[in-house]
Amino acid sequence: MSDTPERPPRRPTAFRIDAPQPPPVRDPLAEAVRVPRAVPDLSVLSIEPDDAIERDDVVSALEAEAAAPRRRGFSFGKLFLGALAALASVAVGLALDSLIRDLFAREDWLGWAGLGLVALLAIGAAGIVGREMIGLMRLAAVDRERRAARRAYDLDSESEAKLVVAGLKTLVAGKPETAEGRARLDALADDVIDGRDRIALAERELLIPLDAKARALILESAKRVSVVTAVSPKAIVDISYVLFETVRLIRRMSELYGARPGTIGLIRLTRDVVAHLAVTGSIAIGDNIVGQVVGHGLAARLSARLGEGVVNGLLTARVGLAAMDLCRPLPFLRVRRPRIGDFVGDLMRLAQDEKGSAQRSG
C-alpha cells in the first residue's frame, strides 16, 4: 500500500471555447520529476586555435574599453587639486608683485628689468599651456576618429565613411609615407563605394605603411630592453630603463600616428595604456609568453639572464601593442593586428647572438 496521500477528485467544470484559458494548475509532484536536457551534438562544435581565441578576446576588450565614454564627474581629488593650483597661482602672483615693488624701490631700471622678466615668464607659461592644450586636442581627435570609424563601419554608412576618410587624411597629412595613398584616395573620392569598403580602403592605403613603422618601433624598443636587462647588474637599473623605454615608446607611437601629445597628454596616454594592459590581463608574465619562450627551446639554449631579458622584451612589446591600439586612428578592421608571437623569433635570434658573442669574448 502506497504512503502517498490520495488527492481529492476534481469537480466537473464547464469552459467556453472563446474564453481565455485559465493558467494550468501546478502539480508539485509532477514538478519534482525533471526531464533531462537533450545532450548537444558535439560533432557540430568547432574549436578555434588558441592564438585566434586570444586575438579576438584581446581586440574585443581593447575596442570595447576604448569605445566606452569616460565618466568625468565631481570628485574631491579634482576639487583639492583645483583649489591648490588656484592658491599657488595667487601666492606666486603676490610674490612677484612684492618683488617688482622692491626692485622699483631700489632702482627704477631694476624694476623695469624685473617687469620685463615677468612678461617673458608669462609668455613662456602661456606657450606651455597652449602646447599642452593642442596636444590634448590631438589625442581627443584621434579618439573621435577611431569611434567614428567603428560606427561608420558597423552601419556601412557611405556619408559617415567619407567624413572618416577626410578626418584620417587630415591626421596623417604630414606623413610622407601616406602621400601615395592620399593621392589614390583623392582619385576615388567621387566613386560610389560602400561605407565599409571605403574605410577598409583608407586603412590599407594610409595606415599599412604606418603600421609597418610602428612594428619596427616596437621591435627596436623590445630589443633594447632585452639587451639592457640581460647585461645590467642591478635591478634598479633594469626598472629605470624599462620605465624610460616604455614612456619613450608610447610617445614615439603617438607621434607616428599624428597625435604628438605634450607632457600632460603623454601622462594621460600612459595611464590609458596601463589601463588597457590591466583590462586584457597583459600586465603580468602570462602563460602565453612563457609558453612561447619554452616552446621555442629558449630556456634550454640560453642562460637565465638572457632568458629574463627576452621575457622583459616581450613585455615591452605588449606595451607597444597596447599603445598601438590606442594611438591608431582606426581600429583594426581588415588589417591583421600584430601579435606578441611576431616578436619572439627576432628576440630569440638577438639573445643567441649575444650568447655567442659572450662565449667568443670569454
- Sorted by sequence, the CB contacts under 8 Å of residue 208 that are 6+ apart come out as 335
Query: Among the listed ranges 6-20, 278-292, 311-325, which one has the minimum average pLDDT value?
Result: 278-292
pLDDT tens-digit profile of 209-228?
999 999 999 999 988 888 88
Question: For residues 129 and 100, what is the distance between their CA atoms, to the nearest angstrom?
Answer: 24
Model pLDDT, residue 120: 93
pLDDT tens-digit profile of 125-150?
899 989 889 888 888 888 899 999 99
* CA neighbor of 277 nearest in space, from 250, 302, 237: 250
Model pLDDT, residue 124: 92
Model pLDDT, residue 7: 58
Which DSSP category does 43 fall into?
G
Alpha helical stretches, state H, the chain = 28-31, 50-67, 76-106, 108-155, 158-171, 179-187, 195-202, 208-231, 235-256, 263-280, 287-295, 298-301, 304-327, 344-361
Q: Is 97 helix (H, G, I), strand (E, B) or coil?
A: helix
Q: What is the mean pLDDT of residues 246-265?
A: 87
Query: How distant, in Å, are the alpha carbons of 189, 201, 202, 265 from that of 185?
Result: 6, 8, 7, 31
- Over the Cα atoms of the chain, what is R_g? 32
Model pLDDT, residue 284: 43
Q: How many CB atoms lie within 10 A of CB 320?
A: 28
Model pLDDT, residue 305: 66
Task: Quickly state the pLDDT bin for 293 (edges 50, 70, 90).
Answer: low
pLDDT tens-digit profile of 316-341?
888 888 889 888 999 888 888 888 87
Contact status, residue 167 vs residue 149, Cβ threshold 8 Å: no
Residue with the bigger pLDDT between 294 and 159: it is 159
Residue 56: all three cell numbers together: 579576438
Question: 50-67 and 108-155 helices cross at what angle (nearest 10)?
Answer: 130
Model pLDDT, residue 71: 54
Question: 304-327 and 50-67 helices cross at what angle (nearest 10)?
Answer: 50
Handedness of CA 246, 248, 252, 254 (dihedral sign): positive
Q: What is the mean pLDDT of residues 185-198?
A: 83
| Range among 66-70, 76-80, 85-89, 337-341 with highest mean pLDDT value | 85-89
Model pLDDT, residue 70: 54
Model pLDDT, residue 303: 58
Question: For residues 91 and 187, what is the distance between their CA atoms, to the nearest angstrom?
Answer: 59
What does pTM read for this prediction? 0.68
Model pLDDT, residue 9: 62
**Percent of the chain, pLDDT > 90?**
10
Model pLDDT, residue 352: 67
Q: What is the pLDDT of the chain when averaged over all its residues?
A: 75
Question: For residues 250 and 265, what is the distance between their CA atoms, to the nearest angstrom?
Answer: 11
pLDDT tens-digit profile of 88-127?
989 988 998 899 899 889 888 988 998 999 899 999 989 9
Residue 349 has pLDDT above 80, yes or no: no
* CA neighbor of 215 nearest in space, from 289, 324, 344: 324
Question: For residues 217 and 221, what is the distance between their CA atoms, to the nearest angstrom?
Answer: 6
pLDDT tens-digit profile of 29-47?
444 334 343 433 333 333 3
Question: For residues 219 and 129, what is the distance between their CA atoms, to the nearest angstrom?
Answer: 34
Model pLDDT, residue 57: 47
Which DSSP category does 40 fall into?
P
Residue with the bigger pLDDT between 238 and 292: it is 238
Q: How many CB atoms lie within 10 A of CB 357?
A: 10
Task: Quickly state the pLDDT bin for 56 (edges 50, 70, 90).
Answer: very low
Contact status, residue 243 vs residue 316, Cβ threshold 8 Å: no
* DSSP letters for 197-212: HHHHHHIIIIIHHHHH
Residue 91: all three cell numbers together: 601666492
Question: For residues 111 and 217, what is the distance between their CA atoms, to the nearest angstrom?
Answer: 52
| Domain boundaries defined on the chain | 84-361
